[in-house]
Structure 1
Amino acid sequence: MLPDHFPTQLIVAGIGTEIGKTVVSAILVEALQADYWKPVQSGALTDSDTETVRQLVSNSTAQFHPEAYRLTQPLSPHAAADIDGIHIDLNSLALPKTSNALIVELAGGLMVPLNDHELNIDLVQRLGLPVILVSRNYLGSINHTLLSVEACRSRNIPIAGIIFNGPTVTTSESFILTYTNLPCLGRIGQEPTFTQDVIRKYANQFTEFIGTR
């Protein structure tokens, strides 16, 4: 059982690209029986992150809200939008109307540009939801994680915690958690493949962990 104080509408942000935001989003959608929304999809329109999450979750509560912008090229949103002759207008990006829990997945990292003047972090500020930061261990990931935390804190964006994805590096993770004083909300192992069963396993772990806080 999730405690009343834990936010059930959250933004999933990564410390970079290919960090595992979509897998984490699927786990959270399953754990919270939440809706899912990705405001901007760049490329992979026939195999989008929305469709990936839809295939990975097994609860019957989740609703999948359509992307506000579907861009044809797998590039930074500002570049993909330029190719498609589209301007991403943050004023048009409003949270879906739902009484359910909600998981919002960003397109790329916090400082990824959405247009010539605005970044993902500007969208996060506008949406006003706490962030779950997804980190993955690689050379330079401490720097990228701490920069992401500092970027949020400099704008007074609340961070609910960090989820580590992939192989564990204890020294890196311990330093990040100690330095930031943020909770680790979960760890996702190096799975050979992600299926509904695997997602359910991690979703159960997440709800059990949060329920003990």
Structure 2
Amino acid sequence: MTRLVGLSQRVVVDPRTNERRDALDQRWMPFLAACGMTGVPLPNHTETALQVAQACGLAALILTGGNDLAALAGDAPERDETERALLDWAAERLPVLGVCRGAQHLAHLAGGQLERVGGHAGTRHRVEPLGREVNSFHDWAITQAPPGADVLARAADGSIEAFRLGNRTAILWHPEREAQPHPDDIALLKGL
């Protein structure tokens, strides 16, 4: 039986109509299927997102990529608010995975340090000690882990690429964007 996983969504503004729209990379669903899971997109409306999350019996919550944090001059405060509420709700209930922007949000909320970085967007690089190459699409690096976090991986420049803090795991790469799901990423999701 497949497990249901809640997915936060980026905010995209349609320039033609000036509508603020929720959006999710279509590659999430096949990646989750490879992990034995089904994604449930959660809207950037706090009350509705919490109602959906509670009604679905989610097995985990994933904070996906896209949009900078409002605290870092991003333009989607409704997303930050919804994700904070979902994290509060999930605190003792569900494991959480933060991917790219989601990892940045987890670090920020738990007291980690973020700094704007060049050369990380649209590239691939190795992470150690995992000894693997990952994709990279971020402009903000985690330069200091939140207090009490276990650092799981770093880039060559020393920035933190993955950490774990309690039932929350953060990775700065996008497992859904790989042409073939990486076995380590599948194991990570199944291990949540």
User: TM-score, with normalisation over the residues of structure 2?
Assistant: 0.43
Query: Which structure shows the bigger proportion of residues in helix conformation?
Result: 1
Query: Which structure shows the bigger proportion of residues in strand conformation?
Result: 2
User: TM-score, with normalisation over the residues of structure 1?
Assistant: 0.40
Higher relative contact order (CA 8 A, sep 6+): 1
